Amino acid sequence: MNNTYKIVVFEFPEELHDLALGLICDMDFVGVEQVHDVYKITFHSHKFDEEVFNSLFEIIKGVYPKAKLVETIEIEEKNWNEDWENSIEPVWIDENCVITPEWKANEVAADMKIIINPQMSFGTGHHSTTKMMSQLALKYVKADSFWIDAGSGTGLLAILASKLGAKEVFAFDNDEWSTLNINENIALNGVSNIKVENADIYKVELPESDGIFANLFLHLVIDSFSKMYDSLKARKGILLVSGILKYDEETVVKSATKAGFKLNETMYDDEWVAFQFIVE
């Protein structure tokens, strides 16, 4: 008999998803899927402890009373990897640039092809923040420039900057697994001018640069504005920011302005916002 799985579907704000992940870290779950405000957790049916899970949900409701338990689904095991691979589609950033998994690279024709094998939820181009940052990169990365990709994730933005003609790129992330993934994707794309480091935004030294990608959580962006300004000021560089919900737009702009930046462009997609700041 095939194994069966129980999928529990929640609905609560995306900014609380990390909290939920922290709460379930000791539970015997199979996987987690996050799509905007929908949060799905999959368990082996025979290992699902309903009492423990109800306690978890009560904690989430204590933080966000409007949280909803949408449904609980039971399904049989099948070839998940095949289904997953078939479901991943290339993402077009514009008519000439596409982000694609390796197994679909031969199916798309584009002047610029970025190969990213999806192994994490962000950094594949499917999320609004990554797509907007990629669109801003196409617009603002110039030849022979030096860029920093802060919190690089899959390395997508660093690779894109390299392919757009950046002379050198410094990509860092505080997650060791992410830095391994960055190097894998760099090799897939055949670029060689990206320096990768496992580093924390609070501790890393940012060299003088022409541009910085900062697709980060709200508090990381706000806490790092002064540090990023110091990196960009000598060259009158560009700061591209996302990872920000539109409800926090005013907070981010005020903090950036206080640090010395000037807002030059704003983009929106769904509930998310991206910014281009310049050094005054």
Which run of H or of E encompasses 137?
Answer: helix 128-140
* Angle, CA 143 vertex, CA 186 and CA 145 arms, to 5°: 75
* The predicted structure's pLDDT at residue 137: 98
What is the reported pLDDT for 17?
A: 79
The reply to whether CATH 3.60.70.12 applies to domain 128-279 is: no
pLDDT of residue 56: 77
Return d(Cα 53, Cα 41) in angstroms, integer: 11
Q: How far apart are CA 103 and CA 190, in angstroms?
A: 16
**What residue ranges do the domains of the chain occupy?**
4-78, 128-279
The whole-number pLDDT of residue 67 equals 87
Fold for the domain defined by 4-78: Alpha-Beta Plaits (3.30.70)
Q: Please tell me the predicted confidence (pLDDT) of residue 1.
A: 44
Q: What is the model's pLDDT at position 118?
A: 67
Same fold, 4-78 and 128-279: no
The values of phi and psi at residue 56, to 5°, are: -60, -45
User: If you ran DSSP here, which 8-state letter would residue 92 be given?
Assistant: E
Closest CA to 15 of 31, 30, 36, 32: 36
Per-residue model confidence as pLDDT tens digits over 18-41 = 877 787 777 778 888 888 888 888
The b-or-e profile of 94-104 (16+ CB within 10 A means b, else e) is: eeebbbbbeee
Residue 193's pLDDT is what? 97
pLDDT tens track, the chain, 280 positions: 457 888 888 898 888 878 777 877 777 788 888 888 888 888 888 878 788 778 878 888 888 888 888 888 887 765 555 555 566 788 999 999 999 988 888 889 999 999 998 665 455 667 899 999 999 999 999 999 999 999 998 999 999 999 999 999 999 999 888 888 899 999 999 999 999 999 999 999 999 999 999 999 999 999 999 999 999 999 999 999 999 999 999 999 999 999 999 999 999 998 999 999 999 8
**Burial (0-12, 13-18, 19+ Cβ within 10 Å), 120:** middle
Dist. CA 213–CA 138, nearest whole Å: 12
